[in-house]
Structures are given as C-alpha cells and as structure tokens.
Homo-oligomer: A and B are copies of this chain.
C-alpha cells in the first residue's frame, strides 16, 4: 500500500497495531462473542483496568462505554443537571456541547471567546450552577485549556460538578482527576481506533447526583443512565449489546500504550508539537492559528495558511501527508494536524521538513 499518513483530527490515523488486533479478534471469534459471556467480561475488565492504569484514574471513578462522545454530552445533562449548567465556549464543539443543554431544556449558560482564544484562569462562573462544562481541547480551533485553569475553576467553584471534554486530547493530558468529576473521550482520536465508541468516566459524586434526581422523580434516561451503567459495569458488563469489537480493540491498544509507557507518549507528543509549531512559525506562508502559546494544543495543531491553504495541502499530499481541513468556515484558510500516538516522530519530522520546503 502507498505510504499515506492521515493527519485529520478524527477519525484519524489508526494506531499501527490495530490491523493485527482485528485479525486476532476474528481468529478468537470476538465479533460474534456474546456480551453476556465470561470472555466478554474479561475484555471489559482488561479495557477498564488498562485505562485506569494508563490515565491514573482513582478508585472512586467508574468507567463506562457509550456509542460516541456526543452521546456522553447528552447523558451528562440527563444525569447531572436538574436546572443549570455553565459552559466555556471557544469553538464549534464546545458550542455544540452547550447547545445540547438548551435542546434538553436546561438553563445552559456560557461564556464565549472568539475562535483561537483560550480562557483565563479566573473565569467568572455564577454561583450555584450544577455542572461546569469545559472542553480541554477544542478540536475545531486547536485551543487547549491549561490544566492549572481546571484546578483554579475547581477551587473557585467547589460545589459544582466539573465535566471535562477530552475527546481530542487523551491520552496526552495528565489530569489531576480530583479536580474533575467526569472526563470523557472517544476512541477514534488519540487512541487511534475505528470510530463507534465513547468512554465516559465519572466519580461517585456524579453517581450520587443522578440518584438524587431519580429520587426527585426526574428521569435520568434508561439503559444508559448512571445507575444502570454502574450496575452492569460492576459485573464488567454493559446494559445493551455494545460495540464488542471496539471494546476489545481498545483493551489491546491500551495495553500497547502501557508497554510503550505513557511518559514516552507524552514526551513524544511534546516533541512532535514543538517541531510542527516551529515549522509553521518559520515558514513565510503559514503561522500557528493560536497566538497565545499557553493555549496552543499539543494534540490538534491548527495552521493559518491563508490563500496558500489548498496549495500546501496538495503539496503535502504528494508526499503522502494528508492534512485535515480547517473546520467549518476556516476550511479555505486553515489546515489542522492531529498529533496523536499513532503519528510517529519521523512522520512529524517529514511533515515539518515538507512545510519548510513548500514554495508558492
């Protein structure tokens, strides 16, 4: 097969072990395995235990599977919000998260900054909101929220639950989970897996909040409410017939990541990001879209390429390097580059060299 690297930020490049794991899955009969079998319970346990180790998830956190991270947006409101939530909005995905609250008839409030900008640590959040929703990595703009900002939000709002959308950043960020109540992602980005699986982590405080809503006769949903998810997860099961193959592949890639070492993955991510940001700054035809260095994402890097966007994209493609389009209205003026564990240092060096050699 022709050399081809997919830098689109999701679905993105598959992790290099996935094709082998799929072959193994077919050999072992995983695609037709009963989700009520012992073998499935082992796979569920391997996936969740592995994630717990990889991401340093405390024991008061539970790990559940959904169909997508989009589903998790909806479930967060259903299970944790009776009245009000507050959203830090700085791009299309944080905006959609907020809109889902409105659709579900919640009083979803927001603070919004222009695309490409991040948030200060001292965001003013109204007293008494039940849920504060932050997007750790805004996939549309390449803006990341510093971990210290999450810690500061926690200190200033000790009574609110904090949900962190880490869809396009995990496994890179080393969250202090005590500063969050729920963290979630989907597998087709940083984990380099086929799409069709969301991973939802919640602590006991979330479970209790959902129980409180139920006690007040407020529906928290059905098969994927927190009580039902937890009752099944305690048996290493899911309420519904899940994406069994997806959970199996996740368990295998998490094991691969553990062997490689999360510290190595993080260091390599830093290195690759530095290489690309430097290339974008040095190239006369490109610049990083995000100006404040502390807000620049390490995992989704957005380049302003103006009128040269199409030409640069085509030039990179001749080398087998497939950039992601800019998001929405920025399609004609920006390119996006996923920097996930599936992308090697060599691929990033080739990408940076190619940008250096790009002439108009």
Residues of A participating in the B interface, judged by any CB pair closer than 8 Å? 1, 4, 6, 8, 10-14, 18-19, 22, 26-27, 29, 31-35, 66-71, 73-74, 99-100, 103-105, 186, 188, 193-197, 217, 219, 221-225, 239-246
Contacts and interface: CB of A to CB of B under 8 A. Distances in A.
16 contacts: A11-B33, A13-B32, A22-B22, A32-B188, A32-B194, A35-B195, A68-B242, A71-B224, A73-B223, A104-B221, A188-B241, A194-B244, A195-B241, A195-B243, A196-B243, A196-B244
Contact of A74 (B12, B14, B105, B222): B222
B4 A29 contact: yes
A9 to B, nearest CB: 10
A47 to B, nearest CB: 14
A42 to B, nearest CB: 16
A133 to B, nearest CB: 14
A245 B1 contact: no
Nearest to A243: B196
Contact of A245 (B196, B225, B242, B244): B196
B34 A103 contact: no
The number of times this chain is found in the oligomer is 2
Contacts of A22: 22, 26
B104 A240 contact: no
A162 to B, nearest CB: 21
Contacts of A34: 8, 11
Contact of A14 (B31, B68, B105, B196): B31
Contacts of A8: 32, 34
Nearest to A15: B32
A27 B19 CA distance: 10
A222 B100 contact: yes
A159 to B, nearest CB: 26
Nearest to A102: B222
Given A32-B13, A32-B188, A68 B221 contact: no
Contacts of A6: 29, 32
Contacts of A240: 67-71
Report which residue of A19, A34, A197, A217 has the largest number of chain B beta carbons within 10 angstroms of its beta carbon: A34
Given A241-B10, A244-B196, A74 B32 contact: no
Contacts of A11: 31-35, 241, 244
B32 A103 contact: no
Contacts of A196: 67, 196-197, 241-246
What 4 A-B pairs are tightest by C-beta distance, nearest first? A67-B67, A196-B243, A70-B240, A31-B194
A73 B104 contact: no
Contact of A26 (B10, B19, B186): B19
Contacts of A32: 6, 8, 11-14, 188, 194
A241 B188 CA distance: 9
Contacts of A242: 67-68, 195-196
Contacts of A224: 71, 74
A217 B112 CA distance: 26
Contacts of A73: 222-223
